[in-house]
Amino acid sequence: MERITVTIDGGIADVRLNRPDKMNALDGEMFDALLAEAEELRANSSVRAVVISGEKTFCAGLDFSGFESMASGGGSGDPAATQLGEIADGQITHRAQQAIYGWSTLRVPVIAAITGVALGAGIQLALGSDIRFIAPDARMSVLEIRWGIVPDMTGTRRLSELVGVDVAKELIWTGRMVEGTEAVQLGLATKVSDDPHADAMALAHDIASKSPHAIQAGKRLANAAGQLDDAAGFAAERAEIGALIGRPNQVEAITAYFEKRSPVFSDPEL
């Protein structure tokens, strides 16, 4: 069985973790699939938005069998996982981190649809998305403290950005479960939804109907906002708008609006 299934239609990549019998827990094969699929989508200029979800549940974190072996002093129980600590070529991450971080660095918007649970590595994958729809009864937890470890797949940085350092510390130190409404209140999720996947797909379709150049520029600016001082941030805005105005997709957006028709945009070059 494929660990991840991907269907691309209308510029939207519908990505589903596909290990429902194990609550989509991450083993070596799932890590490999996450790495490979993120890079395939990165290389596909026709993709304008990504929706990531899981069959039956989002993701229960690392495969528990690895922890059983770790407790007995045997290291990881998954032979495929032995390479996950290697630094990825040209990356600032090792392979396990890149399997999560790679999704947050896609040029296009990534929307998570969270049902069931998003625990440990699963919450870190969800937090790497730009927008997160969550079911009211879905549960999220920074669960690593249960195993006597800390989040190590880039999640601590994103967690602190979203909920603030003090709340991040509380969640890391306690590993407590947070359900839908509180997840939104804290900033772990964006919106509560009775059907997260349907709402995520609807938003993805809306995004895909807009100029992909402008969508990607908006993502770059928003992502950089907390990392740049005012002068650099204003300069970045000037650079992005300068690269958009007068270009074919920007002209098409204006023309279609005044002609009262749906715009037809060209795909960005990679």
Q: What is the pLDDT of residue 213?
A: 98
Does CATH place domain 211-258 in 1.10.12?
yes
Q: What is the pLDDT of residue 119?
A: 97
Summarize pLDDT for 108-160 with one digit per residue, the tens.
Answer: 999 999 999 999 999 999 999 999 999 999 999 999 999 899 999 989 999 99
Predicted TM-score (pTM) of the model is 0.92
Cα–Cα nearest to 268, from 185, 203, 184, 212: 212
CA distance 173 to 167: 10
Q: Is 39 helix (H, G, I), strand (E, B) or coil?
A: helix
Average pLDDT, the chain: 92
Q: What is the pLDDT of residue 69?
A: 54
What residue spans in the chain does CATH classification 1.10.12 cover? 211-258
Q: What is the pLDDT of residue 68?
A: 54
The single-letter code of the amino acid at 17 is L
Summarize pLDDT for 183-199 with one digit per residue, the tens.
Answer: 999 999 999 999 999 99
Q: What is the pLDDT of residue 74?
A: 47
Q: In what order do the strands lie in the sheet with 12-17?
A: 4-9, 12-17, 49-54, 110-114, 131-134, 191-192
What residue spans in the chain does CATH classification 3.90.226.10 cover? 4-207
CA distance 54 to 126: 11
Q: Regarding predicted confidence, which is higher, 236 or 68?
A: 236
Domain 4-207 fold: 2-enoyl-CoA Hydratase; Chain A, domain 1 (3.90.226)
Summarize pLDDT for 52-87 with one digit per residue, the tens.
Answer: 999 999 999 998 775 455 444 444 444 444 467 778
Q: What is the mean pLDDT of residues 238-265?
A: 97
